[in-house]
Copies of this chain bind each other. A is one copy, B any other.
Amino acid sequence: MTSNRPRRSDATRAAILDAARERFAADGYERATIRAIAADAAIDPSMVMRYYGSKEKLFAAAAHFDLRLPDFTQLPLEDTGTLLARHVLARWAGDETLFALLRAGVTNETAAERMRSIFADQLGPQVAKVCPDPAEAPVRAGLISSQVLGLALCRFVLRLPPVAEMTEDEAVRWLGPTLQRYLVGY
């Protein structure tokens, strides 16, 4: 059994996870210290260790992410690229977990593996449903990942001015056709 009845420390556990996500997202894996995370959660650093075992395991626990992709087969085929662009950008803005994964994934193998699995297991199957040849789905999903992650990198992490200052609509207008081509074009 993994699910037990509620414990008295559940609030603390949740506070640690929240603080961890925030710190990992803002500072990356190595600069986010257990002491800082504990301070944010207003508890002692040793509690983090007791409840999560190690920094690495804490990250693994904090970095679960679901893209919540819609079912591509229910979408008008010619708008899929644009809708996908809009969905992903919105999803990105609403949850800092993806920031944490992006910032940490560059130097931490656990984070990189998590990132890979998100785009392989969540995006890949949806792409397979609509692309011309299902055998191409992994490559197409990879290309989509590259454009989406690249925009997030430039917009939120590196803060390239023209990309960072772009409105979300503008970004969607540019990315839409690109993703559409990666989905079903050649």
Give the contacting residue for A120; candidates B105, B155, B160, B182; CB below 8 A.
B160
Chain B nearest CB from A157 CB (Å) reads: 6
Stretch at the interface among A12-20, A23-31, A45-53, A65-73: A23-31
* A166: interface (CB < 8 Å): yes
Query: Could you mark each residue 126-162 of chain A with 1 if its beta carbon is under 8 Å from any beta carbon of chain B, else 0?
Result: 0000000000001101110111111101110111111
Give the contacting residue for A103; candidates B31, B107, B120; CB below 8 A.
B107
* Nearest 10 Cβ contacts at the A-B interface: A150-B150, A142-B162, A142-B163, A138-B162, A28-B107, A146-B150, A146-B154, A30-B30, A146-B151, A106-B106
